[in-house]
């Protein structure tokens, strides 16, 4: 046990100086002991949770089909829409399952997957163009500021998000063609998406042009 003659206190462990007065200690140091009890961390049962969700998904699909058969609906198989919705949910989950640590990449992949899914839903439900008029331009318009704000809040390095933001901005420019070729009937969401894409590209080129070029060279092995 170490002893401080100035403070007249005993000091446990093996410190170099007295924690109170920073004076020299006399005596023999004790082996370092952890004064705080160790609490074993219980692993999060992720696999078990996924198993419950998978079981719930199957149960909902089966119940939907059973209700669709039991209750006359005039030949409308609404249960197929439920199954397709559950499948879309799982597809979205599988995309981010192995990328949970890379949020910018998750935003980028989810944007592509969701855009493809809503377009398919629109096509197979009569193609009323709600996906092109509203959903897809809104998804791209929201993803650009969301990615920039997340990078700022989490203080990410430029190379961690600049490529994804650049690709999203370039793809968003094509919203102009939806207007020029009169693919969309409501132009405001597409116009906003196009404007945000130009603003994002201008920001990248003006403030992060050098970093963008270096990251492109690194990824293309130039």
Q: What is the pLDDT of residue 46?
A: 60
Cα–Cα distances in angstroms (integers) from residue 1 to residues 14, 72, 107, in the given order: 9, 85, 57
**What is the C-alpha to C-alpha distance for residues 141 and 124, in angstroms, rounded to an integer?**
25
Task: Determine the pLDDT at residue 39.
Answer: 59
| Region of residue 45 (phi > 0: left; psi between -120 and 50: alpha; otherwise: beta) | beta
Q: What is the reported pLDDT for 171? A: 92
Record the tokens describing residue 91, joined without a space. 């597809």
What residue ranges of the chain have pLDDT lower than 70? 1, 13, 15, 29-46, 96-101, 221-222
119: exposed, middle or buried (Cβ count in 10 Å: 0-12, 13-18, 19+): middle
Q: What percent of the chain has pLDDT over 70?
A: 86
């Amino acid at each position: 046990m170490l002893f401080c003659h100035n403070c007249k206190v005993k000091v446990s462990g093996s410190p170099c100086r007295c924690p109170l007065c920073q004076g020299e200690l006399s005596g023999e140091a004790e082996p370092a002991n952890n004064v705080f009890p160790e609490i074993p961390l219980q692993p999060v049962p992720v696999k078990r949770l996924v198993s419950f969700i998978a079981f719930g998904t199957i149960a909902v699909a089966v119940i939907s089909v059973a209700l669709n058969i039991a209750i006359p609906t005039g030949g409308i198989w609404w249960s197929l829409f439920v199954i397709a919705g559950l499948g879309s949910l799982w597809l979205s989950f599988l995309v981010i399952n192995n990328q949970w640590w890379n949020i910018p990449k998750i935003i980028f992949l989810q944007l592509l997957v969701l855009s493809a899914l809503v377009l398919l839903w629109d096509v197979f439900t009569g193609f009323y163009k709600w996906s092109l008029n509203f959903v897809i331009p809104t998804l791209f318009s929201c993803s650009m500021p969301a990615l920039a704000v997340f990078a700022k809040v989490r203080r990410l390095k430029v190379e961690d998000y600049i490529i994804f933001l650049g690709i999203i901005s370039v793809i968003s420019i094509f919203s102009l063609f939806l207007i020029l070729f009169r693919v969309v009937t409501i132009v405001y969401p597409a116009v906003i998406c196009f404007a945000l894409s130009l603003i994002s590209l201008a920001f990248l080129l003006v403030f992060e042009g050098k970093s963008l070029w270096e990251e492109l060279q690194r990824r293309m092995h130039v």
